[in-house]
């Protein structure tokens, strides 16, 4: 059983929450909270379902909500290129990236846009 199948089983009954905690290179900590949170089964391509965002980080998953999970072998999004290949990691891509927590962790700032963990925008400015 793969990771998405496990998440599907865990979230298929009842109401579940997701809290994403983030820290930037200046040690600023933020979070994004979603309720409800669920991942669909294989027939939905493990569709991401999140709503009712609140938190101190931007809503990095709204852009990906309702998307199937794309891997290098299963392209389930609307972009012309396979985003999982381009960004070197599987994710719930739309067209392509607004956030991705399923790629390499690059220590420090980099010019390799989207090639490492990314969350737009880490800090909400009010």
The answer to the question of residue 126 being in a domain is no
The total domain count for the chain is 1
What pLDDT score was predicted for residue 69? 92
Burial of residue 44 (number of CB atoms within 10 Å: 0-12, 13-18, 19+): middle
- Provide φ and ψ at 81, rounded to 5°: -110, 160
* Summary mean pLDDT of the chain: 83
Containing structural domain, residue 14: 3-119
Q: Which two tokens stand for residue 29?
A: 């900590």
Any domain includes 124: no
Q: What is the CATH number of the domain that holds 34?
A: 3.90.215.10
Q: Which residue has the higher pLDDT, 108 or 13?
A: 13
Find the radius of gyration of the CA atoms of the chain.
14
Q: Note whether residue 50 is domain-resident.
A: yes
Residue 66 lies in a domain: yes
- The answer to whether the predicted template modeling score (pTM) of the entire model surpasses 0.75 is yes
Question: Cα–Cα distance between 17 and 76 in angstroms, integer?
Answer: 25
- Flag whether 112 is in a domain: yes
pLDDT at position 52 is: 97
Alpha-carbon gap, residue 72 to 126, rounded angstroms: 38
Q: Is residue 125 part of a domain?
A: no
Triad 122, 75, 87: Cα angle to 5°: 40
Write the pLDDT tens digit of every residue in 18-62: 999 988 778 889 999 999 999 999 999 999 999 999 999 889 899
The confidence score (pLDDT) of residue 97 equals 75
Closest C-alpha to 123, from 3, 23, 8: 23
Q: Which residue has the tokens 């059983």?
A: 1
Q: What is the pLDDT of residues 50-108, one digit of tens each?
A: 999 999 988 989 989 999 998 888 777 777 788 787 778 888 988 777 788 877 667 66
Q: Which residues pair with 118 in a beta bridge?
A: 100
């Amino acid at each position: 059983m793969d990771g998405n199948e496990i998440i599907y089983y865990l979230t298929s009954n009842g109401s579940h929450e997701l809290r994403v905690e983030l820290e930037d290179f200046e040690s600023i900590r933020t979070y994004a909270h979603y309720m409800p949170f669920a991942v669909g089964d294989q027939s939905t391509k493990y569709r991401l379902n999140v709503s009712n965002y609140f938190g101190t980080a931007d809503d990095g998953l709204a852009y990906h909500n309702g998307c199937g999970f794309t891997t290098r072998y299963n392209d389930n999004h609307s972009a012309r290129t396979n985003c999982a290949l381009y960004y070197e990691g599987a994710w719930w891509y739309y067209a392509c990236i607004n956030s991705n927590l399923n790629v390499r962790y690059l220590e420090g700032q980099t010019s390799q846009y989207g090639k490492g963990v990314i969350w737009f925008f880490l800090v909400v400015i009010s």
